[in-house]
Amino acid sequence: MPDFKYCKLEIFIPETHLAALQTALQQVDAGHIGKYDCCLSYSRVTGCWRPLDGSLPYLGSIGKISAEPELKVEVTCLAEKAGLTVAAVKQVHPYEEPVINVIPLCRTSF
């Protein structure tokens, strides 16, 4: 199996929490690319979910499908810091079960 030096995180979060997320990512040096830091991209998406019994949804109602605008934030970090980065995201994320995908990168342009 290849040894991946970098990974990309995809984070789905309400737009109201973008600034806090940017600060958290900066504090763990995620988005550091060469001679630049604080590098990330985001796009508007629509998230869908249905809270199940026993959940504590940030938005939505138990048993009802919800669809709300969110941001999909993408940021690169060292693979060895992926766990630290995910933990930092969870500290500022309002969702009970945040979607944070960690994807190994075979190659980067830097």
Q: What DSSP string describes 28-52?
A: TTTT-BTTB-S--EEEEEEEEE-PP
Whose CA is closest to 21, among 96, 81, 78, 100?
100
- Tokens 């019994």 locate to 53
For the stretch 48-55, contacts whose Cβ atoms lie closer than 8 Å and that sit 24 or more positions apart, written own/partner, are 55/96, 55/97
pLDDT-derived band at 2, boundaries 50, 70, 90? low
Q: What is the C-alpha separation between 107 and 96, in angstroms, rounded?
A: 33
User: What's the pTM?
Assistant: 0.93
Residue 1 has pLDDT above 80, yes or no: no
> For 66-81, how does the pLDDT look when each residue is reduced to its tens digit (9 = 90+)?
999 999 999 999 999 9
DSSP label of 73: E
Given this model, what pLDDT does residue 3 score?
Answer: 74
pLDDT, tens digit (0-9, with 9 covering 90-100), for 11-45: 999 999 999 999 999 999 999 999 999 999 999 99
Residue 108, pLDDT score: 82
Q: Which residues contact 50 (CB under 8 A, 6 or more apart)?
A: 60, 63, 64, 65, 66
The predicted-structure confidence for 46-68, as pLDDT tens digits, reads as follows 999 999 999 999 999 999 999 99
